[in-house]
Structure formats: structure tokens, C-alpha cells
């Protein structure tokens, strides 16, 4: 088993293909162990700071439970109750938190903030979502694909929608796993070029392929996994109406799913805006695995915390 002891996890590019496989193997084992009602508390006596500058349900609940079930104490801070929200500098707040906690998990707006905290902190820092990356969701999604299709390498995964933090996460995660990654976004909403380049660099080593499309049908063609995300993420509410026109052709409906491979699964990190990026007939279909995906946040994060703090 490859340990990640003491390491930061700011994006999926922070781990190697071998380390990714190790996290997923650990998550599979922990999920099976939990189903057998076996308990283990390898992080007993440790504390993890969980900072939520952006609202959260799945991330907060899954991280709190992951800490508790591993024996660690979750210290949750949200809204205006302290960390980074009252004018105290990132440096000073981080230096205080590292005296109390063995790790810092933060969900915030800017990737640059997470990177600054990691530079200051002497304890591991985990990115629980920023504007550029959502690596913990990526681990859960790869775990879900592996669970349903029995493999990752060679699987064709299509993401349809905004070239946002989720698109970046699938580019890097798919490249690490040796997948065929297809990203379809409207003109003007493509992923960041440096993230695409990073994914292509990883793909050159793993045998993965990276495709970018502006036609959703071409993007989904033959895909074994079809994924989408909200068209206006948190913090982009003011852009919602303006985005509707551009994203309308990228709605995942039964007509678009018909271009995917036989037996394809549908995924969405939630929350879903039903009727916008996905219709009820798709998200409620037997081939939709969105709630397995949500559950797997817990198992993937337990594995990650075990390997970083164990």
C-alpha cells in the first residue's frame, strides 16, 4: 500500500497513477468493511480542521463522518465563526490551526488560497473544493466508475457542460487512470489551457487520451460514462440567465444519452438543477448512479485521510 503520509492534496495532479490506485483500493476495502459492520479507528486521538467558506452538504457530512468513523475529531468552522473570515491573515490563522489539528481541510473560492495555506502549514492540507479543482469529488467519481464498470483504464468518460473545476478534475483524474477523456463545452467555456496541458502530459505516460469538443453529440459519442455539472456554480449566480443560451444544447437528455455506448452510466456530483443541465428521465433512470457517487464521497475521503494521517 502506498502511503501519502504528511502530503498535501490540492489537486489530482498531486498524486501519481500508482498512488491513485492505492487510494481507490483502500476505499473499496473500507467500503466493504463498513458493509460488514466492522469498525476501525486508526486516527484515534487526532483532530482535523474542516473549514467551509462555501456552503456544503455532501462535502461537510461526508468529511465529518469520515473523521468520526476513523476515530479522529472533526473541528468544523463555517460562515463567520472564525477561520479566515474576520480579517486575520492566512498566515496567522494557519499557524494557529496547525497547533491544534493534524490536518486542515478547506472548501473555499480560490485555488490560490488553498495553495497559500499549504505553503504556510506544517500539517497536510486537503482541497475540499475551489474554483479550479475538486479532487475529493474526483476520487469518489473514479471509485464509482470502477465499482460499476469493473475497471478505469480504457473506459471512455464524457463530461458535458462548463469547463469548470469538475472538468479540470475529470481531465486530471481520467489521465491518471488511463481513461479516454472527452470534454464537451460551449465556445468560451473551455477548461483552462494549463490544466489541459497538464492532463495531456500525464496521459502521455499512462496511455490515456484527451479530447476537447464544442459539440455535445461528438463529445458523448460511444461514451461508457456521461457526466455533467450545474451550468452556473456557486458564486456565479449572477451569470445564470446569461449562461442558459450557451448551455442549452448541452443539456443531458435521453436524446443525448442515445449517443453513448450501450450500458453507459450517468453521473452528476450534485446538486442538480433538474430541467437545466439534466432532465428527470436521465437522472432518475436505472443507469443513473448519482447516489452511489454521493455515498462514495465518504469512502474515498476515509481512504484519503487514512493514507495521509495514518
Instruction: Spell out where the chain has E strands.
Output: 47-52, 73-78, 103-107, 125-127, 156-160, 180-184, 209-213, 225-228, 265-268
Q: What is the pLDDT of residues 277-298, one digit of tens each?
A: 999 999 999 999 999 999 999 9
Q: What is the pLDDT of residues 146-191, one digit of tens each?
A: 999 999 999 999 999 999 999 999 999 999 999 999 999 999 999 9
Q: Given 229, 243, 268, 301, which residue is catalytic? A: 229
32 is catalytic: no
pLDDT at residue 82 in the model: 60
Spatial separation of the C-alpha atoms in residues 136 and 150, rounded to whole Å: 20
> Under 8 Å CB-to-CB from 281, ≥6 apart: which residues?
253, 254
- What cell numbers appear for 304 in the block? 484519503
Q: Given 30, 53, 137, 198, which residue is catalytic? A: 137
101 is catalytic: no
229 is catalytic: yes
> Under 8 Å CB-to-CB from 85, ≥6 apart: which residues?
53, 79
Q: What is the pLDDT of residues 193-230, one digit of tens each?
A: 999 999 999 999 999 999 999 999 999 999 999 999 99
Spatial separation of the C-alpha atoms in residues 201 and 306, rounded to whole Å: 29
297 is catalytic: yes
- What cell numbers appear for 104 in the block? 486542515
- What cell numbers appear for 225 in the block? 460514462
Q: Given 107, 168, 251, 299, which residue is catalytic? A: 107
Amino acid at each position: 500500500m502506498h502511503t501519502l503520509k504528511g502530503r498535501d492534496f490540492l489537486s489530482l495532479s498531486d498524486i501519481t497513477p500508482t498512488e491513485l490506485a492505492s487510494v481507490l483500493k483502500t476505499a473499496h476495502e473500507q467500503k466493504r468493511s463498513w458493509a460488514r459492520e466492522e469498525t476501525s479507528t486508526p486516527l484515534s486521538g487526532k483532530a482535523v480542521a474542516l473549514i467551509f467558506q462555501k456552503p456544503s452538504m455532501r462535502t461537510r457530512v461526508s468529511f465529518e463522518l469520515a473523521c468520526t468513523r476513523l476515530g479522529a475529531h472533526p473541528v468544523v468552522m463555517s460562515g463567520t465563526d472564525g477561520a479566515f473570515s474576520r480579517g486575520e491573515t492566512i498566515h496567522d490563522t494557519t499557524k494557529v490551526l496547525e497547533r491544534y489539528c493534524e490536518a486542515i481541510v478547506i472548501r473555499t473560492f480560490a485555488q490560490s488560497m488553498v495553495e497559500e495555506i499549504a505553503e504556510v502549514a506544517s500539517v497536510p492540507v486537503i482541497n475540499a473544493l475551489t474554483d479550479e479543482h475538486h479532487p475529493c469529488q474526483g476520487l469518489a467519481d473514479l471509485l464509482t466508475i470502477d465499482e460499476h464498470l469493473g475497471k478505469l483504464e480504457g473506459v471512455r468518460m464524457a463530461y458535458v457542460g462548463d469547463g469548470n473545476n469538475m472538468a479540470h478534475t475529470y481531465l486530471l483524474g481520467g489521465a491518471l487512470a488511463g481513461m479516454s477523456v472527452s470534454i464537451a463545452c460551449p465556445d468560451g467555456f473551455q477548461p483552462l489551457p494549463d490544466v489541459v496541458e497538464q492532463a495531456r502530459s500525464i496521459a502521455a505516460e499512462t496511455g490515456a487520451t484527451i479530447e476537447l469538443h464544442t459539440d455535445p453529440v461528438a463529445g458523448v459519442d460511444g461514451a461508457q460514462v456521461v457526466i455533467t455539472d450545474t451550468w452556473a456554480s456557486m458564486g456565479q449566480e449572477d451569470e445564470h440567465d446569461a449562461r442558459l443560451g450557451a448551455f442549452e444544447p448541452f443539456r443531458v437528455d435521453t436524446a443525448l444519452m442515445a449517443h453513448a455506448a450501450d450500458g453507459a452510466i450517468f453521473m452528476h456530483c450534485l446538486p442538480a438543477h433538474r430541467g437545466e443541465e439534466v432532465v428527470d428521465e436521465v437522472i432518475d433512470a436505472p443507469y443513473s448512479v448519482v447516489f452511489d457517487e454521493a455515498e462514495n464521497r465518504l469512502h474515498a475521503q476515509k481512504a484519503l485521510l487514512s493514507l495521509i494521517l495514518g
